[in-house]
Structure 1
Amino acid sequence: MNNLRPSRPKRKDSRTEARPSNEGRASASSMKRNPQRKNAQPIGLPVRQAALQLLEAVLRQGLPLEQVIGRITQGLKQNADRALVHALAAAVLRWCHDLDDLIDSATAKPLAPDVKARMVLRMALAQKLVLKQPAHVAIATVLPLVDGGPRRLVHGVYGTLDRREGVALAEYPTLPDETAYRWEKAWGDPMLAAAERALAQQAPVDLTLKDPEQTALWQEKLGGESLFSGHIRLPEDHPPIAELPGYEEGAWWVQDISASLAARLLGKGDNRSILDLCAAPGGKTMQLASQGWQVTAVDIAAKRLTRLHDNLKRMGLTANVVTSDLADFKPKEEVDAILLDAPCSASGIFRRHPDVLYRVSSHIIADMAEQQKKLLDRASTWVKEGGKLVYAVCSLEPEEGEAVIRDFLASHPDYQIDSVEKSSLPEGLSPSPEGWLRILPENLAIKGGNDGFFIAYFTRYTKKEAK
């Protein structure tokens, strides 16, 4: 990989995130082909084939993991197998830089970044060092991926590292160079260190309650921690989501604490009208509906809106759901408020979706920022005088947050920032001096972390009223 920044010293702590797998406890003999069935596939091969395809889709083609994983794993019948595909691909993506350093230390000449041998070695090492599978299982399950190819090379490099004393990953992963360069420039080294710490662990599961007044009740029933009213953070060992108390009766839905703030801070709707733009999968729509807003939820993705319909039904909430491209959509009349959760690079959700670290580039960020400016400009014409406009992105890029808002304010004198009140935020979060809310990885790190986000609130005035 090309270094876009000075290399940082390697950490010596060998703690890694563990993803134990029952499959990893299989015996060495179970990994071999049955001599009586020459056409039988080695155990676990379909899972590794799917993981390899998934990694190639992300790292070579630049596709979102969640967009392609369903198609790639559709031939796997067991949920556990599909989960292992995701866990293996995520482990490689989280630790890719460090896995490559190990591989390069065991070869006379560095392997090309996109050769199959490197990808398979990443998988083998991730299985051993991250998922904690036995060494013989880690290599035996991936060697069939290079049958008829560089099998001896893969086996040799892995064997060299397996025999080397003290081979381990650092306590925290190293971010990809381009990402680290951008974030260090924008936010400084403390943010960079916090991002790497966040990347080393699974993101906690947050719930938003339909009725915030029942926070204490659901905290007790779910055994979680509440960071503020209407929020529950589940313990790491929680049961499957659909088996938790309150799921069937629609008492809560899954939503990261950062994502919940954009709608929450709008307060009670009192039957006023609001547009939730780019609404799918619907967490903010449900928040607004539960707060008493008359919601029209708009999104271009019909498939994702189906999920929104299902969630509204489970929660016992109502909203007018519209499938439309925002470039074509226009409301019949002005509304009391608009929440624009704009399309963005999504770099803020890297803990749960580490593929964004490899897909997002400066070029993509610039393109997304231009799109956001156009959508914000268009939406601003649909707000009543005295109404509210909320802009939010799950991005850690200032070009998609602060820069967009400064441009908007400069060209829209009828809009002014509404300063976020610190008292309305969880402990650890504070508004900026300008009044908007920038959420970085370190803000709630002591409580398990949070997604990166940017949120700004505006009021529309007449030009005479605007200061």
Structure 2
Amino acid sequence: MVLSRSPARRRQPDNSSETQPDVPGLASRKAAAKLLAAVVDAKTPLDGMVDAEHGHPQYAALSVPDRALVRAILLSALRFRGTIAQLIAARLRDALPPKARALEHILHAGASQILFLDVPDSAAVDLAVTHAKSDPRTARFGGLVNGLLRSLSREKETALPPALDRAEDAPHWFRSGLEAAYGGEKARTILQAHRVEAPVDFTMRADPALWAERLDGTVLPNGSVRVARLPAPVPDLPGFTEGAWWVQDAAASLPARLLGDVAGLRVADLCAAPGGKTAQLALAGAKVTAFDISRSRLKRLRHNLDRLGLEAETVEADILRHEPAELFDAILLDAPCSSTGTVRRHPDVPWTKGPEDVAKLAALQRRLAERAVQFVKPGGRVVFSNCSLMPEEGEDLWAAFLREVPGIEPEPFRADEIEGIAPFVTQAGTLRTTPADWFSSDPSVSGLDGFFAARFRIVK
């Protein structure tokens, strides 16, 4: 079935947006399309817009169940954006007009419900049509929305599998970057992993086996506990109130441990919030100073440490300008990055970032790494890390750093330093994880966030 848009006709006065009745479910669909537009068109990160306290006003006005639905629509629409676009295009005789972005977002929000969510198809179609008719920009396309989404509903069982096989649910810059870095086969595995919601990993204060049983999870080789799907919100899980654990991807737990034995040492966590690595260092017996440029993020870090019963000094500062009163024995620099290693959790990242962002962030990381050298005593150890998959922020940056920065020497990681990390230690002695690692027959409990880490000592 092919569809074309309605022929142009004289615009009639349209007051539908003012007179539209309060249709149950309509507000959540409007919010989903609005936020999808903000991500795709304005490159606005999703997390801030769906923040429970300071999110987008249209999202904040919804009930808790409707907020959950909006999040589900957005995550599926972004995770499968290429597949949805392909299925929509196959049902159009002509491409959508260049200025019909609002219509495109309505169609993507509707299609994501039909194809990937447990929402009645009839509700998804009817609310998308009502939405289109309520907006003067899309009112004349109500028939197209109805016909296209009903066609998709009828044919999804046969149309979706081949579309998933053909489509690559990532923009060209991201896909080509992965292929250049990892080769075609591994890049495809990473992209496939991005279609599956990541499991939840916990770092334990003690006794991972006990908490794996209580949380219905499994103990990973590095000691993290992995749960495929949470049975309740995190604050309602056993162990939360007493501070028995914190949520932290298994890959994110490695850099702090790669500083080695830090008991009794003065250690600086230079970009510390939200505090998972600070907590690890404090639990290991370090005297930790946690730096962050954001007051609100430091407040969150202190709240997390209080729950865990751990202590650290906190300093609100821009480390590019801050002069420490005393040098540290060791430094952990988990630097701001493109977050391309976290797409399983944040599928908006490939659509809100681009090569120019990677280059800009790599330059910032280089400056931060050079500054970290000034924070540590001669003979002191530094671990640099970030959650990017892009070599410009990892392997390439590290190679240039070693060539061009005096007074340092690399200290390669060893495959036996932490149980299970041998596959991630490179020939250069750095650490590289990807969502294609720790992959099993069950994608829901597979993979790791993409991380790069390297270690060096000060010899000046």
TM-score normalised per structure 1: 0.86
Query: Which of 43, 50, 53 pairs up with 1:69?
Result: 50
**CA distance in structure 2 between the partners assigned to 1:112 and 1:401 by the alignment:** 41
Matched, 1:40 2:21: yes
Shift of 1:428: 6.7
Deviations 1:296-344 (A, max 9, x none): 1111121121111111000000111111222222211211111111111
Shift of 1:69: 2.0
Deviations 1:223-260 (A, max 9, x none): 21111353111242533222222111111100001111
Tell me the matched-pair count: 423
Query: Which of 115, 120, 123 pairs up with 1:129?
Result: 115
Q: Is residue 336–residue 383 contact of structure 1 (8 Å, CA) maintained in 2?
A: yes
Change (3 A) 1:61 1:386: same
**CA distance in structure 2 between the partners assigned to 1:156 and 1:430 by the alignment:** 50
Query: Which of 369, 377, 382 pairs up with 1:376?
Result: 369
Change (3 A) 1:111 1:380: same
Matched, 1:408 2:406: no
Moved over 6 A (4+): none
Matching residue of 2:88: 103
Matches within 5 A, 1:315-330: 315-330=308-323
Matches within 5 A, 1:1-400: 40-70=21-51, 71-72=55-56, 74-112=59-97, 115-147=101-133, 148=136, 149=139, 150-164=141-155, 166-169=158-161, 170-171=163-164, 174=168, 175-211=170-206, 214-400=207-393
**CA distance in structure 1 between the partners assigned to 2:446 and 2:371 by the alignment:** 37
Q: Is residue 348–residue 451 contact of structure 1 (8 Å, CA) maintained in 2?
A: yes
**CA distance in structure 2 between the partners assigned to 1:431 and 1:372 by the alignment:** 21
**CA distance in structure 2 between the partners assigned to 1:163 and 1:221 by the alignment:** 43
**CA distance in structure 2 between the partners assigned to 1:161 and 1:308 by the alignment:** 46
Q: Is residue 121–residue 153 contact of structure 2 (8 Å, CA) maintained in 1?
A: yes
SS class of match (1:390): strand
Please identify, of 388-397 and 103-112, the stretch whose mean Cα deviation from structure 2 is larger.
103-112
Deviations 1:195-224 (A, max 9, x none): 22212211000000123xx22222222221
SS class of match (2:269): strand
CA RMSD of aligned residues (A): 1.9
**CA distance in structure 2 between the partners assigned to 1:205 and 1:159 by the alignment:** 36
What percentage of aligned pairs have identical amino acids? 37
SS class of match (1:186): helix
Query: Which of 432, 435, 447 pairs up with 1:441?
Result: 435
Shift of 1:277: 1.2
Unaligned runs of at least 5 residues, structure 1: 1-37, 463-467
SS class of match (1:167): helix
AA matched with 2:435: P
Change (3 A) 1:227 1:105: same
Matched, 1:432 2:430: no
Shift of 1:358: 0.8
Q: Is residue 224–residue 233 contact of structure 1 (8 Å, CA) maintained in 2?
A: yes
**CA distance in structure 1 between the partners assigned to 2:104 and 2:209 by the alignment:** 50
**CA distance in structure 1 between the partners assigned to 2:455 and 2:105 by the alignment:** 45
Please identify, of 99-108 and 163-172, the stretch whose mean Cα deviation from structure 2 is larger.
163-172
